[in-house]
Amino acid sequence: MKKITAFFLFILLINSSFGQDTFSITAVDPVTGLVGSAGASCIAGSIILSDVHPNRGVIHTQASYNATNQSVGRNLMNLGFTPQQIIDSLIARDANHFVRQYGITDFVGSTVRTAGYTGVNCTNYKNHNLGPTFTVQGNILLGQQILDSMYSRYINTPGTMAEKLMAALQGAKVIGADTRCNPIRSSISAFIRVAKPTDPQSGPYWLDLNVQTVPSPKDPIDSLQILFNQWQTTGISNNQGIYPETFSLEQNYPNPFNPVTNITFDIGTLSFVKLAVYDITGKEIAVLADYNFHRGRYTINFDATGLASGVYIYRIFAADVLNTSNNIFTDTKKLILLK
């Protein structure tokens, strides 16, 4: 009898601790169609909290994690519920909602919607903050400074969504950020995900890195950064779409550049192309191509003489003009302008 009782206590402890996921961020970019998810915790396997919906949004269910709630939230997003409607529904159906925490971000067209919830009985310090295209949330934290640092890093880091998410995690890499890891490190596990619009709903995603656990005194965010750096070097392909063997978007110029350059692409069997440049806030500042092309290779001149030095993003959208609902290719790259 004692063995049985001890076994159930052990299972209860596992379920209780496993759910106390700590600091995380959800994000979307309606310009590129990317959706992103990242987080870390002083328990192993914190990636369980991440629910990514390509071309739609991200749901994080954390603090006394409940798999049923996550499944319900996933179904509601698939049905078109807004982030706030999803949270309201989860609260209404869950008698223990006061120990849950949620962060949800999605987009419809160019409209971004965010919502967060932190139950009053989540372990201190707990809070969530809503950004213009993202949410940050955490519990069992050192303090509000952890969330503020993540928020600031995401807002102020130039570059792609992946780079901004990684920077946000680095902003939380403080000893005892999850106070259960004090005084050794910030956390035990960490993850980062970014999905392209064309990625399958259940993955694999364009970027999907996970540090399940690391031995003390290593910090998993450092381990994740190493994986991320390797992915940036070898994992980003110009040819990730319906026609990888025939379509390419090339960087055939020095990067950084100053101030005029050429962007080259080969449309292969596709015919319609839009090539545009955006600033880091997502504002479209130049359309370099927006019309039908014959098959082949093209070079477009980009004159940035009138722009300030900084980081810009260029995105290409290509499709079969006769079947734009299925045969679609998108790719995004970074430009650094120095004057």
**Upper half-sphere CA count for residue 67 (Cβ side, 13 Å):** 4
Domain ranges for the chain: 18-234, 248-337
Domain spanning 18-234: which superfamily? Aminohydrolase, N-terminal nucleophile (Ntn) domain (3.60.20.10)
- Name the nearest CA neighbour of 302 among 266, 253, 339: 253
Residue predicted with more confidence, 36 or 296 = 36
- Interval 180-190: pLDDT, tens: 999 999 999 99
pTM of the predicted structure, to 2 decimals:
0.70
> Per CATH, is 248-337 categorized as 1.10.10.10?
no
- Interval 225-269: pLDDT, tens: 988 887 775 544 333 332 223 345 555 556 677 788 888 777 766
- Interval 97-135: pLDDT, tens: 999 999 999 999 999 999 999 999 999 999 999 999 999
How many of the other CB atoms lie within 10 Å of CB of 118?
Answer: 19
**Upper half-sphere CA count for residue 250 (Cβ side, 13 Å):** 15
Which pLDDT does position 153 carry in this prediction? 96
Q: Give residues with Cβ within 8 angstroms of 203, minimum separation 6.
A: 52, 195
Provide DSSP, 16-70: HHHT---EEEEEEETTTTEEEEEEEESSS-GGGGEEEETTTEEEEEESS--HHHH
Which pLDDT does position 279 carry in this prediction? 78
Q: In what order do the strands lie in the sheet with 272-279?
A: 284-292, 272-279, 310-319, 328-337
| Residue at token pair 């590129």 | 32
Contact call for residues 140 and 119 (beta carbons, < 8 A): no
